[in-house]
């Protein structure tokens, strides 16, 4: 069986290359890293603290309560508008006189 808690080799090589690239950028002058670091910080801040216009209108609990109230209203409207059950219809079946129940149907 393989151990699942080990990091794949390709991922370790990838992380090592990233670390080497960041270290060389810092040693050659860190101005090239300012823009990526600022962009990553802005994305992270917007992810953690989204603006109010993107925020949902309430919590999950209030959404549940609103849906439950709407379902209850729908059920009450359905019960109020329900028609009483119909009785048996006055129609009856008249037996035919063909008498060919055992024969298969004819085809063209």
Domain limits at 47? 9-75
Q: Pick 67 or 105 by higher pLDDT.
A: 67
What's the pLDDT at 50? Answer: 83
**Model confidence pTM above 0.75:** no
The reply to whether 84 falls in a domain is no
Q: How do residues 6-51 score in pLDDT, each as one tens digit? A: 888 999 999 999 999 888 888 888 787 888 889 999 999 998 988 8
> Which position has the token pair 């379902």?
71
Q: Pick from 106, 87, 90: which is nearest to 98 by CA? A: 106
The reply to whether 92 falls in a domain is no
In three-state secondary structure terms, 106 is coil
Confidence check: pLDDT of 1 > 80? no
Number of domains making up the chain: 1
Alpha-carbon radius of gyration of the chain? 37
What's the pLDDT at 82? Answer: 64
Burial of 105 (0-12, 13-18, 19+ CB in 10 A): exposed
- What average pLDDT does range 90-108 have in this prediction? 74
Q: How do residues 48-84 score in pLDDT, each as one tens digit? A: 988 876 655 556 677 888 899 999 988 888 777 666 6
The reply to whether 59 falls in a domain is yes
What distance separates the 2 farthest-apart alpha carbons in the chain? 104
The reply to whether 93 falls in a domain is no
């Amino acid at each position: 069986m393989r151990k699942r808690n080990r990091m794949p080799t390709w991922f370790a090589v990838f992380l090592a290359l990233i670390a080497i690239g960041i270290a060389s950028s810092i040693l050659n002058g860190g101005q090239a890293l300012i823009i990526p670091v600022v962009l990553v910080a802005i994305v992270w801040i917007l992810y953690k603290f989204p603006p109010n216009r993107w925020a949902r209108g309430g919590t999950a609990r209030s959404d549940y309560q609103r849906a439950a109230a709407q379902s209850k209203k729908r059920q009450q409207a359905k019960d109020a508008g329900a028609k009483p059950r119909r009785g048996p219809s006055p129609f009856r079946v008249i037996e035919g006189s063909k008498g060919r129940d055992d024969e298969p149907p004819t085809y063209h």
